[in-house]
């Protein structure tokens, strides 16, 4: 198998459409859709957006686009505990009511968001110190809210962002965890189910889209809930992407599939794409964002277990991404309400089209030409073979620092013009180290210190092969003088082995 075939994506896509083989020009044959909503409906998927209650009445263009383009809505803030019940037993349903009424008028489905979260809680809840008092407050809050919208809001995010990669036990230390321990998660699902037995109940979190430590922890947590018949029906992967580095489509698809295999509905629940991490012109940033959105949306469309995609808003102007002062251009419409390239990325993704993959840019990535093109950095490279690998393997042994490892130095030509790319490698370490493996492009520009663009970071178990994958975009202000690919990371003394390294350019979907 050539390394590029390992993606399997371009091939899978052709097989999955009824539009003909890759040789046929099907640009005129494809159905075209006037709105995202129509495109999603044709695939049997939902296309949603977060909605701001106040804008519905103050911005008629916002209301028009919302009704035309989307088939599902999630209140961006209006159904959070703080805005909804600012004082104990004193509710303000005004924004939520208008969002619900408008959605029903336009035949849009609704997801409520959210019951337990560490943010936007009312201060009276934050100051509770008795576990039973907190349980009662949560139960009453759910009962009142779910009763009001019963039969209208049919899906609820019950628990949001409960996993913390950096916390010792893996759980985020919010008031629920502090007073009730990790069992608050199942208690919340059980209470929500009692409050509305017909509602679909979701877990929602960020940075669980790519395979890795946080997604693995979340997977085990939900598998355990499902195994014990706790009423949980779905998982939302927020997908607040950075367009300079985001989960690779095949990685996202594998992850969606394993959650779906638990019997859960999977959704991309809060998609947006920061651009501030990418240099270059606004046009280059928009193009990178278009591809990031297309790959993410197509991943959902092509996975039967994925129910749909919700964007976290649609007008750049109102995006929460800009709340901290940067201008992220994170959504689908610019400040003049014009469609951006990202809109067409979502549209192409909804039509099940992938970005086109170029050939791999890495030389001898499968080590069939022994160690040609590879160097050991403060380590000794050896060519080896492993029973569970079809290709030869390169190992860096005798590493003297965490910077030591394997490198390919002459990649300037491949990356000189920038663009969007996707990366994969099989990796393994021998020896234990608290740190994981780091894959990066080291870029030198004349007169400047080298900069490091991290393509991926993964914790490895000793002696176990893992697949590392990621997508990224590059745009240069001044062309670089050298680009090198580097595998490094674990403590000195730990050996690092790699094979099947591939790096392919992603081009906009044809047609």
**Residues with Cβ < 8 Å from 278, sequence gap 6 or more?**
243, 244, 284, 285, 288, 473, 474, 475
> How many Cβ atoms sit within 10 Å of the Cβ of residue 319?
22
Of 55 and 249, CB closest to ligand XIL? 55
Q: How far is the CB of 207 from ligand XIL (least distance, A)?
A: 11
Q: Give me the least distance between CB of 70 and ligand XIL, in Å please.
A: 16
Shortest spacing between CB 289 and ligand XIL, in angstroms: 18
For ligand XIL, the binding residues (CB under 6 A) are 76-77, 160, 238, 270, 320
Q: How far is the CB of 286 from ligand XIL (least distance, A)?
A: 22
Count how many Cα atoms sit within 13 Å of the Cα of residue 443 in the half-sphere of its side chain.
19
What's the closest the beta carbon of residue 50 comes to ligand XIL, in angstroms? Answer: 6
Please, which residue, 269 or 342, has the CB nearer to ligand XIL? 269
Which CB sits closer to ligand XIL, 192 or 501? 192
**What CA–CA distance (Å, rounded) separates 54 from 99?**
9
Backbone angles phi, psi at 273, to 5 degrees: -140, 105
CB nearer ligand XIL, residue 4 or residue 310: 310
CA distance 452 to 248: 19
Q: Per the structure block, which two tokens stand in for 183?
A: 């069992």
* Ramachandran region, residue 364 (left: φ > 0; alpha: ψ -120 to 50; beta: rest): left
Nearer to ligand XIL, 321 or 483 (CB): 321
- Select 270 or 426, whichever has its Cβ closest to ligand XIL: 270
For the CB of residue 83, give the shortest distance to ligand XIL in the complex, in Å. 10
Nearer to ligand XIL, 124 or 320 (CB): 320
Distant-in-sequence, close-in-space partners of 498: CB < 8 Å, separation ≥ 6: 393, 394, 395, 406, 425, 426, 427, 428, 487
Q: How many residues does the chain have?
A: 511
Structure token pair of residue 145: 């809210």
Instruction: For 120, list phi and psi in degrees, rounded to 5.
Output: 50, 40
In the complex, least distance from residue 313 CB atom to ligand XIL, rounded to whole angstroms: 7
> Cβ closer to ligand XIL: 272 or 366?
272
Cis, peptide link before residue 377, omega less than 30° from 0: no
Collect all residues with Cβ–Cβ distance below 8 Å to 15 and sequence separation of at least 6: none
| Angle, alpha carbons 275-242-40 (nearest 5°) | 95
The contacts of residue 227 (CB under 8 Å, 6+ apart) are none
Give catalytic residue positions. Answer: 161, 270
Render 124-152 in DSSP notation, one character per residue: HHHT---HHHHHHHHHHHHHHHHHHTTTT
Angle at 314 between CA 340 and CA 237, to 5 degrees: 110
- Apex CA 248: angle with CA 276 and CA 310, to 5°? 70
468 in Cβ contact with 424 (< 8 Å): yes
Asked if 56 and 94 touch (Cβ cutoff 8 Å), the reply is no
To ligand XIL, the closest distance from the beta carbon of 371 in angstroms equals 45
Contact 180, 134 (CB under 8 A): yes
Please, which residue, 51 or 498, has the CB nearer to ligand XIL? 51
CA distance 250 to 385: 26
Helix axes 184-195, 131-148, angle to 10 degrees: 30
Q: Would you state the structure tokens that stand for residue 75, as one six-digit string?
A: 């209140």
CB of 197 to ligand XIL, least distance (A): 25
């Amino acid at each position: 198998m050539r390394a590029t075939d390992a993606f399997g994506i371009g091939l899978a896509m052709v097989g999955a459409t009824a539009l003909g083989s890759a040789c046929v020009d099907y640009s005129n044959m494809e159905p075209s859709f006037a709105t995202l909503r129509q495109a999603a409906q044709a695939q049997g998927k939902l296309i949603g957006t977060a909605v701001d209650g106040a804008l519905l009445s103050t911005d008629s263009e916002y209301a028009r686009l919302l009704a035309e383009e989307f088939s599902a809505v999630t209140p961006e803030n209006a159904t959070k505990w703080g805005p909804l019940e600012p004082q104990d037993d004193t509710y303000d349903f005004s924004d939520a009511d208008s969002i619900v009424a408008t959605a029903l008028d336009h035949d849009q489905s609704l997801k409520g968001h959210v019951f337990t979260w560490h943010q936007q809680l009312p201060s009276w809840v934050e100051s509770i110190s008795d576990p039973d008092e907190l349980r009662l407050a949560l139960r009453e809050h759910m009962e009142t809210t779910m009763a009001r919208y019963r039969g209208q809001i049919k899906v609820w995010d019950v628990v949001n962002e409960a996993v913390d990669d950096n916390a010792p036990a893996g759980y985020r230390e919010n008031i629920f965890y502090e007073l009730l321990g990790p069992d608050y998660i199942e208690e919340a699902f059980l209470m929500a189910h009692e409050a509305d037995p017909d509602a679909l109940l979701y877990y929602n979190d960020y940075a669980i889209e790519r395979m890795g430590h946080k997604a693995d922890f979340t997977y085990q947590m939900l598998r355990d809930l499902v195994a014990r018949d706790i009423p949980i029906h779905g998982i939302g992967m927020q997908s607040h992407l950075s367009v300079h580095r985001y989960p690779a489509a095949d990685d996202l698809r594998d992850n969606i599939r394993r959650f779906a295999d638990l019997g859960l509905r999977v959704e991309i629940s809060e998609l947006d794409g920061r651009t501030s991490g990418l240099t270059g012109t606004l046009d280059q940033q928009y193009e990178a964002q278009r591809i990031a959105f297309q790959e993410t949306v197509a991943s959902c469309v092509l996975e039967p277990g994925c129910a749909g995609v919700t964007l976290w808003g649609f007008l750049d102007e109102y995006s929460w991404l800009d709340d901290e002062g940067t201008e992220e251009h994170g959504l689908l419409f610019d400040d003049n309400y014009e469609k951006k390239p990202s809109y067409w990325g979502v549209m192409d993704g909804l039509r099940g089209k992938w970005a086109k993959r170029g050939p791999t840019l890495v030389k001898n990535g499968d080590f069939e030409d022994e160690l040609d093109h590879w160097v050991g950095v403060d380590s000794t490279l050896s060519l080896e073979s492993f029973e569970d690998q079809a290709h030869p393997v390169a190992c860096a042994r005798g590493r003297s620092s965490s910077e030591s490892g394997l490198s390919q130095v002459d990649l300037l030509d491949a990356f000189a013009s920038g663009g969007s790319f996707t990366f994969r490698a099989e990796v393994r370490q021998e020896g234990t180290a608290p740190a994981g493996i780091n894959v990066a492009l080291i870029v030198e520009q004349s007169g400047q210190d080298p900069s490091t663009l991290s393509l991926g970071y993964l914790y490895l178990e000793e002696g176990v092969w893992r697949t590392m994958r990621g997508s990224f975009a590059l745009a240069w202000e001044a062309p670089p003088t050298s680009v090198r690919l580097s595998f490094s990371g674990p403590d000195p003394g730990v050996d690092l082995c790699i094979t099947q390294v591939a790096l392919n350019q992603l081009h906009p979907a044809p047609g």
